[in-house]
Amino acid sequence: MKAVFLLTALTCLNSALADVSTSGYWIGVMPTYSFSEKHSVTLQAEDRRQGDNSFVLIRPSYHYQMESWINLGLGGDVFTTDRTESRYWGEFNLKTPEMILNQKLHLRFRQEFRDLSGINNSGMRSRMMVMSQFSLYKPWGLEAFVFDEVFYSQRDFVGAKNYYDRNWLGFRIRKNHKKLFYDLGGFWEKVFDQQDSSGFVGIFSVGGFF
């Protein structure tokens, strides 16, 4: 019986060690400028460090408020590491009015087209996010966000397909102050590839509406 227990423990330990850590943090800013009630632009800039990787993200985007609950977006990403990855994407956002317990539901669908320096082939990826937004304490401008984002239907830079790439399950606490907001939170990331990896990523960002 002891031998079976020891074998089981060693198997679990080996599985844990085989799972590569992607833990780290993201720190960034995200100002948004509105031209009118329907048109706005956002610039997201972040320093990201996860596991043994560190990179900078620059993400300018344009958003069109089609209806009070529908928003369309177009944007591009530039990731700088030892190699540069560029992404071009379009997205569809749906946001419901307040429901029970001052809750709002967000749905986002994004389609990305990706290029990596030094590689002739392009990649493609689809992603979907479901997020619930709560008002914690309105006099202090405190809100909470709980979200789950799934990356699926990926084609990498050598043409291989993967129908379930990764999953982010996380939360954010937001402090609103006049035109600015401060986000603090994190998410658990699970990556499915040749060597599975996972980890917790902390987030801190400052944004504003102008």
Beta strands 84-95 and 197-209: pairing type? unpaired
Please give the sequence-ordered ranges of beta strands (E in DSSP) within the chain, or none if there are none: 20-21, 24-34, 39-50, 53-67, 70-80, 84-95, 104-116, 123-137, 142-155, 161-162, 166-177, 180-191, 197-209
pLDDT mean for each 10 residues of the chain (210 residues)? 36 45 94 95 96 92 95 95 90 89 90 87 90 90 94 77 83 94 95 78 94
The CA distance from 176 to 172, in Å, is 13
| Domain 2-209: CATH architecture, name and number where available | Beta Barrel (2.40)
Q: Where are the domains of the chain?
A: 2-209
The CA distance from 70 to 92, in Å, is 8
pLDDT of residue 103: 86
pLDDT of residue 186: 96
Q: Are 57 and 43 in contact (CB under 8 A)?
A: no
Residue type, 61: S
For the chain, first and last CA: distance in Å? Answer: 67
pLDDT of residue 195: 63
Q: List the structure tokens of 176.
A: 């609103």
